[in-house]
Amino acid sequence: MRRANWKLRIFIGLAIVAFAMVQRCSNKEKNPYTGRVQHINMTADQEIAIGLQSTPQIAQQYGGLYPDNRMQAYIDAIGNKLVRNSIARETPYEYEFHLLADENTVNAFALPGGQIFITYALFSKLNEAQLAGVLGHEIGHVIGRHSAERIAESSYWQTISMGAQVGADAGNIVGAIGQNTLLKNGRGDELESDDLGVLFMIRSGYPPDQMIEVMKILKAAAGPNRVPEFQSTHPDPDNRIARIRESIQKYRGG
């Protein structure tokens, strides 16, 4: 009887894993803006809805919006200029730019669907071209559908982990594999967004070498005790600088 139960558990576990793999293959599509094939399980409208619903809570975590309409208008003008002069204008996303009140956390990020944030701590360190580089990078995350891709990836590994737990009690191992995959893909997302950010800067008339200066600012802000690259979702700033130089040469034709 115990052996029969074990066989049933294996069968159910394998069925769950097979379902996850079939679902993953059926969710494969080519991003029309980057040309990259991705595993996505939501529509652009769903991405937009997630971003809009999450914005108030995210803003609250960073002390709310910075109370200066002039600075916000400045950010809007640069962000909208980047959108107008890039493939971002062809996407269905609703780009909105938010200056967060946090004066201590150096950060910028994007939610699915076009909601883009930058903290005052980072904003205050940047000139106009550097700000364009940061916002262009975040627009790249939206166009690259990186959040949607991570959501689909997480869902896939959760299902695989559940199948492994049912079938062979190996969920922790598979869960670790899934986490490593997410970290690796996260680094790829950053590099892809750096590349797009360089292109958007050039198309909007900003000197792309200022993106390199942004990396130096981020490195200085992190300090000597920054997390090693292999433990982080972001590539080391020095490695990003090398790739940014390659992107500048590629898009300038030099």
Tokens of 202: 């050039």
Q: Residue 35: inside a domain, yes or no?
A: no
Spatial contact of 108 and 134, defined as CB atoms under 8 Å apart: yes
Q: Residue 33: inside a domain, yes or no?
A: no
Higher-confidence residue of 220 and 137: namely 137
DSSP per-residue codes, 151-210? HHHHHHHHHHHHHHHHHHS-HHHHHHHHHHHHHHHHHHHHHHHHHHHHHHHHHTT--TTH
Q: Residue 227: inside a domain, yes or no?
A: yes
Residue 72: the pLDDT is: 97
How far is it, in rounded angstroms, from Cα 189 to Cα 204? 22
| 19, pLDDT greater than 80 | no
Q: Rounded to 5 degrees, what are φ and ψ at 123?
A: -55, -40
Q: Residue 198: inside a domain, yes or no?
A: yes
Spatial contact of 145 and 47, defined as CB atoms under 8 Å apart: yes
Query: How many domains in the chain?
Result: 1
Instruction: Please tell me the pTM assigned to this model.
Output: 0.77
How far is it, in rounded angstroms, from Cα 116 to Cα 57? 14
How far is it, in rounded angstroms, from Cα 182 to Cα 232? 11
Q: Residue 34: inside a domain, yes or no?
A: no
Q: Residue 55: inside a domain, yes or no?
A: yes
Range with top average pLDDT, 146-160, 161-175, 199-213, 231-245: 199-213
Strands 37-39 and 108-110: unpaired
Q: Residue 9: inside a domain, yes or no?
A: yes
How far is it, in rounded angstroms, from Cα 193 to Cα 142? 9
Largest CA distance in the chain: 74
Instruction: Give the model confidence (pLDDT) of 162-220 as tens digits.
Output: 544 544 444 443 344 343 433 344 678 889 999 999 999 999 999 999 999 999 998 88
Q: pLDDT-based confidence at 153, cuts 50/70/90?
A: low
Spatial contact of 83 and 143, defined as CB atoms under 8 Å apart: no
Q: Which domain holds residue 203?
A: 2-28+41-252
Q: Residue 67: inside a domain, yes or no?
A: yes
